[in-house]
Amino acid sequence: MRRLVLFIVVTAVVLGCFAAVTWWVDPLGEIWKPGALVTAERDDCLISQELIGTRYLSFKLAVFHDRPTRTFVVGSSRVLKIASHPHERSFANLGYPGTAPSTILKLVHTLPASPRQTMYVGVESFWFNRHYRVPDTNPSDYHLAEYLVSRSAFWNAFTFARDVSYVRYPDRWRRTTVGRRCTIGRTYPSINWALDGSRVWSWELDPKHYQRFHATPYRGNLNAWRNGYYADWETIDQARVAQLERALALARSRGWRVVGFAPPEPASIVRILEADPRIAPRWRAFLRLMPQVFGRYHDRWIGPAVRCPASAFPDLFHTDAACSLLVRDRLDLAARHAD
Amino acid sequence: MEPIRPTGLQLFGSPVLFNSFPFLFVFLPAVAAAYFAVPWHRLRLLLVIGASYYFYAYADWWFPALMAGSTAISYTTGRLLDTETDERRRKLGLATGIVGVLALLAYFKYTAFVGGYALDFVHVLTRQSFPDARSFFHGIVLPIGISFYTFEGISYMVDVYRRTLRAERDVLRYAFFISFFPHLIAGPIVRYGILQPQLTQKHRFDADRVRSGLMLFALGLAKKVLLADGIAHWVDHYLATPGQLGLVNAWSCAVGFGFQIYFDFSAYSDMALGLARIFGIELPWNFDRPYRSASPTEFWRRWHVTLSTWLRDYLYIPLGGNRKGQRRQDLNLLATMGLGGLWHGASLNFVAWGLYHGLLLAGTHRGRRRGLSLPRPLGVAVTFILVVLGWVLFRMHSAHGIGALYAGMFGLHGIGGLPGHLALYIAIAAAIVFGLPEEWRWPVGRWNVAYVAATAVLFAVAVSSVYTSHPFLYFRF
């Protein structure tokens, strides 16, 4: 019996050591590290994407709760530059890459019903393409357990900790400078998050050291363009429309103000969306459908109300800070009119 | 080979396989704990049957129904053969039972194969392509493990018919025999005579036996995820372009695949033996360092032993074995091994692999009759090379691939370079294969504390590698 116990205990201890090292170093960003956000808040720094990893939802919820949030925006990566005004603490950006109607519904469920909120919903047409796969940004406990005892994750953690001394103790990150801003990160903080949840690219702060992103040109292959979001789009997925409606209904039941919008597109992309016969019918259906959906809950839909010049889209997909500020102003105006 | 894409029952979004976290951390501990907690023997049998059906449902929801059907056919046939005294009726009953279980196997495993060739033949004559029929054949899903439990059912019926075994009256015991999850998916092919006496007794919790089973399982898992999967990574990488392999790397791939399939399949067998031992059941061993064989005959006495003895007892000997002259023996060997190849997969390359081994066996018998024999080390080397040449037929699934790899092995694509990582794996594998006895022979039950602790460390490392593990090769058969 003692040898059986020894066998089980040794196995458990070795796996436990693997898990502890992987948890501490977290080489793939699967573990939410609230301490990193606390440090960033204390030092008034940005927080690097390296420390957020796949845990967008946990990060955004922490942002929401750490601020006296009264207004927030949700949506895909294309709303992430919508930021708070200087010294404004009541605004939070809760958008993240991989947002979809299901994640918005989940987020609204998770947020407290009061105080009353103003919610800006940036709706993407491709969400209603059944083939758009919603990535997992809230891994299950089982998935995390699998990750923690995985040999490859442990090996990554071990080599990282061997090469990068500050990861070992007492923190798992360091304070670095990108341009004129400080950021809490690790080795290469190319993407950062501000404390209001909006995104800051390092090339905006330090164009000498960080490379700007490049656009994937449209060459007619929908599988290769914009991560394939528009490929094989046959119909408007009604299940996802229903999920969005449930989120709006829940917000309505809580007395929240809601303004819907379509994140801006450069004119060249609008031409593609309106002309490509594989997309255009669905794009037009989307633009027709959304006012009805938001109208059903007495919410405002301002559509792609802001036009920005091509230079405002560094990668022909995401808006820059100036264009996003225009969007924010337009949303604030719509919200005021909603009263 | 198409990867298995399970669509059935899952735990935490993952299929329940030996080399999976749900199996290791949930299924196995839960079933073992419940098994020893239940005080009634029949309830224990029922519990394991239920767990085994659940385990089998991982691949598809309807697979357990198929297994239940096959179990019902062989069980009913056994009961009929036991009570019937009229020889003609017994023969008819046996034939009906065998046809019944074989019909399921034939439909699911061979319809697409035969139908595909038939359509090709008709296409040549009529220039019609029959797309609907082709998509129908393509849509037939092979239930994993069916080849194994079909052979187990047949051996049971034949043994009862031969009166070397009494038919089982207790349907629970019989269902346990067919479905017992350690051997369900990829063997060993168990005969009821081996399991029957073990199923009548209640197995008390024995810490030493459980530890011994766990350690055997651990060694099997380590072989699978640390060796077989590592070799597979590099073999698959190189064999993706067989036409570019020179002499050295082509041989490295062929030898590598030989070690990969051995470590993969023997690992599964070790894990099956270890798991069964945890529950107090001893399954027959399946491998005994086959690459140390000095002749093809010896190879088949050491490789997939439960299959080769099954083929010998239920196919080769009934066909006449060696009792009807040399020419007939050669034909019997070719037929037995050809069908053995077909059992592995409905594909001509498996038939060719079986026939190749039939030729080797026939040649060995003829040589022996003429007094030819090689010194043992030379015999081992020649047998190893012959077996490796045969693995090319097994591994490559197209005539083009087979031709390209053979061309590389015979130097038609130049010398080629030594594939570093694969060569290292081959060296480790060869050291184990030629230097150590088979794991089931290791006296794990008597190991001291240091060995137990070392095996536990190895087990933990193997468990941590499960995350990226490949499916077992023999699941496809």
The Cα-based distances of B134 to A317, B117, B141, B296, B468 in angstroms read 44, 10, 14, 39, 34
Q: What residues in B contact A146, CB-CB < 8 Å?
A: 21, 467
Decide which of B6 and A313 is more confident. A313
B87-105 and B146-161 helices, crossing angle to 10°: 180
How far is B407 from B387, CA to CA, in rounded Å?
17
Q: What residues in B contact A10, CB-CB < 8 Å?
A: 452-453, 456-457, 460
* Residues A7, B207: C-beta atoms closer than 8 Å: no
| Residue that the structure tokens 């086959």 belong to | B290
* Residues A6, B449: C-beta atoms closer than 8 Å: yes
Decide which of B121 and B303 is more confident. B303
B72 by Cβ neighbours in 10 Å (0-12 / 13-18 / 19+) ranks as: middle
How far is B291 from B360, CA to CA, in rounded Å?
15
Q: Average per-residue pLDDT in chain A?
A: 90
Report ipTM (2 d.p.). 0.80
Closest Cβ–Cβ partner in B207, B447, B463 for A149: B463
As a dihedral over the C-alpha atoms of residue B203, residue B208, residue B213, residue B217, rounded to 10 degrees, the angle is 150
> What average pLDDT does this structure show over A310-314?
88
Whether B338 contacts B355, CB under 8 Å: yes
Closest Cβ–Cβ partner in B12, B455, B457 for A142: B12
Neighbours of A255 (CB within 10 A): 11
pLDDT beyond 50 at B137: yes
Q: Rounded to a whole number, what is the largest CA-CA distance in chain A?
A: 75
* Residues B460, A140: C-beta atoms closer than 8 Å: no
Q: For residue range B343-395, list pLDDT tens digits in order.
A: 888 888 999 999 999 999 999 999 988 888 889 999 999 999 999 999 999 99
- Band (B1; pLDDT cuts 50, 70, 90): very low
* Residues B207, A3: C-beta atoms closer than 8 Å: yes
pLDDT beyond 70 at B474: no
Q: How far is B452 from chain A (nearest CA, A)?
A: 6
Nearby residues of A133 by Cβ (< 8 Å), 6 or more positions away: none
Which of A89, A129, A95, A71 is closest to A338 using CA atoms? A71
Interface probe for A, chosen from B204, B206, B209, B211 (most Cβ of A below 10 Å), is: B211
The DSSP line for B311-346 is HIIIIITTTTTTTT-HHHHHHHHHHHHHHHHHHH-S
How far is A302 from A133, CA to CA, in rounded Å?
26
* Residues B467, A4: C-beta atoms closer than 8 Å: no
Q: For residue range B432-454, list pLDDT tens digits in order.
A: 999 888 888 888 888 888 999 99
What is the helix (H) or strand (E) element at residue A47, kind and residue range? strand A46-48
| Residue that the structure tokens 């790899």 belong to | B405
The DSSP line for A141-169 is HHHHHHHHT-HHHHHHHHHHHHH-GGGTS
Considering only A103-117, A205-219, B62-76, B198-212, which range has the smallest mean pLDDT?
A205-219
How far is B167 from B174, CA to CA, in rounded Å?
9
A280-296 and A238-253 helices, crossing angle to 10°: 20
The sheet with strand A257-261 has its strands ordered as A91-93, A71-74, A118-122, A257-261, A300-301
Q: For residue range B244-268, list pLDDT tens digits in order.
A: 888 999 999 999 999 999 999 999 9
- Band (B6; pLDDT cuts 50, 70, 90): very low
Q: How far is B214 from chain A (nearest CA, A)?
A: 9
Whether A221 contacts A83, CB under 8 Å: no
Nearby residues of A184 by Cβ (< 8 Å), 6 or more positions away: A36, A39, A40, A43, A45, A46, A47, A48, A51, A173, A174, A175
Residue environment code for B148-166, b if the CB has 16+ CB neighbours within 10 A, otherwise e: bbbbbbbbbbbbbbeeebe
Q: How far is A153 from chain B (nearest CA, A)?
A: 9
The H helix count followed by the E strand count for chain A is 12, 10
pLDDT beyond 90 at A209: no
Q: For this structure, is B413 an active site residue?
A: no
Nearest CA in chain B to A152: B465
Q: What residues in A contact B465, CB-CB < 8 Å?
A: 150-152
> What average pLDDT does this structure show over B267-284?
93
How far is B112 from A218, CA to CA, in rounded Å?
42
Closest Cβ–Cβ partner in B452, B461, B465 for A7: B452
Residue environment code for A185-205, b if the CB has 16+ CB neighbours within 10 A, otherwise e: bbeebbbbbbbbbbbbbbbbb
How far is A101 from A239, CA to CA, in rounded Å?
9
| Residue that the structure tokens 């090292």 belong to | A21
pLDDT beyond 60 at B10: no
Beta strands A191-193; A46-48: pairing state = antiparallel
Tokens of B196: 């029957």
Predicted local confidence at residue B123, as pLDDT: 82
Q: What share of chain A is helix, strand, coil (3-state, %, to 5)?
A: 45, 10, 40
Closest Cβ–Cβ partner in B21, B207, B465 for A4: B207
Active-site hit among B344, B357, B365, B413: B344
Q: What residues in A contact B208, CB-CB < 8 Å?
A: 1, 3-4
Which of B18, B20, B392 is closest to B235 using CA atoms? B392
How far is B55 from B28, CA to CA, in rounded Å?
10
Which of B47, B271, B300 is closest to B179 using CA atoms? B47
3-state secondary structure of A185: strand
> What average pLDDT does this structure show over B49-55?
90
What is the helix (H) or strand (E) element at residue B287, kind and residue range? none
Q: For residue range A258-303, list pLDDT tens digits in order.
A: 999 999 999 888 999 998 899 999 999 999 999 999 999 999 999 8
pLDDT beyond 90 at A239: yes
The listed range with the strongest mean pLDDT (A259-263, B8-12, B17-21) is A259-263
How far is A221 from A230, CA to CA, in rounded Å?
10
Q: What residues in A contact B461, CB-CB < 8 Å?
A: 14, 151
* Residues A18, B459: C-beta atoms closer than 8 Å: no
Beta strands B10-11; B14-15: pairing state = antiparallel
How far is A18 from A27, CA to CA, in rounded Å?
13
Q: What residues in B contact A143, CB-CB < 8 Å?
A: 12-13
